[in-house]
Amino acid sequence: MSELSDRMTRDMQLRRLSERTQESYLRGVRGLAKHYQRSPDQITDREVQDYLLYLLNVRKAAWSTCNILMSALKFFYGTTLGRTSTCLAIPPRKIEQRLPEILSAQEIKRLFAATQNVKHRTLLMTVYAAGLRVSEAVSLKVTDIDSERMTLRVEQGKGCKDRYVTLSPRLLQQLREYWKQYRPTPWLFPGGIPDQAMPRDTAYVIYVKTKMKAGIRKVGGIHVLRHAYATHMLEAGVDLRTLQMLLGHRSIMTTQRYIHVTQKNLGTPAKPMDLLATPSKKRRPKA
């Protein structure tokens, strides 16, 4: 599988697929090979179909997981092996749209106060204060901080796009405190190996452990901080177009979903029962 992995990785890199997509695709193909205990290029089209049905019917895998796997197998057999005869005739299904659980301002404060580790607190504050994806946060460099213009430069975010986000004075103060203690370079949040950025999984673990210390029971990983940022910005009066640019969304439709979870909008409409006038009891005229 190592030779095939190298070929597939090369093909994905030539097509500029993100590192996360590459990891997901390789994981999917390796799972297929492990299931049959054979090299994936020796697995028949019928066996590929049977494996997908096994995941759906026996393992009860989420449809989104199977969609990713189908994309991985189509790429592997169609692009890397050139086996165009392989047909994965399983129609995609709509993914259930679930609204995220939003942390309140008080919960955000408890989260930051729950850790004494300056590096961990600064990481969490940066993700929230700038509304970053975790991959964007761990990819920040010290040179991305512009204290004169009060901006953070997000280099090659999702969709291979650069953007600038606002740098709050409170976050800048925290970053300076962090700098005095750690002196990071070149990565703002280096991992165990100084010249390498912190892995995404490490940032995820930092958030989960801190959340437990803070006594926060709402579900979700570190991406919840980005959701909280977007929701709190809307509640503060930021317009959708500006928020779209700050979040780096390609479509404003993605940004609009936060309208459904803002406290501001939840409190605006009158409750239907309150719109009904309470009928007054009319006294019967005395005879």
**pLDDT computed for residue 269 by the predictor:** 47
Q: What is the mean pLDDT of residues 249-269?
A: 70
Q: CA dist 209 to 73, 186, 219, Å?
A: 35, 26, 13
The reply to whether 123 and 215 lie within a common domain is yes
- 167 found inside a domain: yes
Report percent pLDDT > 90 for the chain. Answer: 52
Number of Cβ atoms within 10 Å of the Cβ of 170: 10
**pLDDT computed for residue 20 by the predictor:** 83
Q: CA dist 29 to 5, 22, 34, 184, 264, Å?
A: 9, 11, 9, 37, 46
Q: What is the mean pLDDT of residues 165-185?
A: 94
The reply to whether 66 and 111 lie within a common domain is no
Q: What would the pLDDT profile of 29-87 be if each residue is shown by its tens digit?
A: 999 999 999 999 999 888 988 898 898 888 888 777 888 888 899 899 989 998 876 66
Higher pLDDT, 250 or 213: 213
pLDDT > 90? residue 27 = yes
The reply to whether 244 and 119 lie within a common domain is yes
- Provide the domain limits for residue 131: 105-266
- 110 found inside a domain: yes
Handedness of CA 120, 124, 127, 129 (dihedral sign): negative
- 86 found inside a domain: no
The reply to whether 211 and 110 lie within a common domain is yes
Q: CA dist 4 to 47, 51, 143, Å?
A: 19, 20, 38
The reply to whether 227 and 131 lie within a common domain is yes
pLDDT > 60? residue 199 = yes
pLDDT > 50? residue 286 = yes
- 192 found inside a domain: yes
- 221 found inside a domain: yes
Q: If we measure between CA atoms, which residue out of 211, 235, 260, 258 comes closest to residue 108?
A: 211
Number of domains making up the chain: 2
Task: Quote the tokens at residue 176.
Answer: 């300076």
What residues act catalytically?
A: 133, 158, 223, 226, 249, 258
**pLDDT computed for residue 101 by the predictor:** 85
The reply to whether 187 and 148 lie within a common domain is yes
The reply to whether 46 and 119 lie within a common domain is no
pLDDT > 50? residue 271 = no
- 282 found inside a domain: no
**pLDDT computed for residue 6 by the predictor:** 92
Q: If we measure between CA atoms, which residue out of 115, 101, 116, 85 comes closest to residue 226?
A: 101
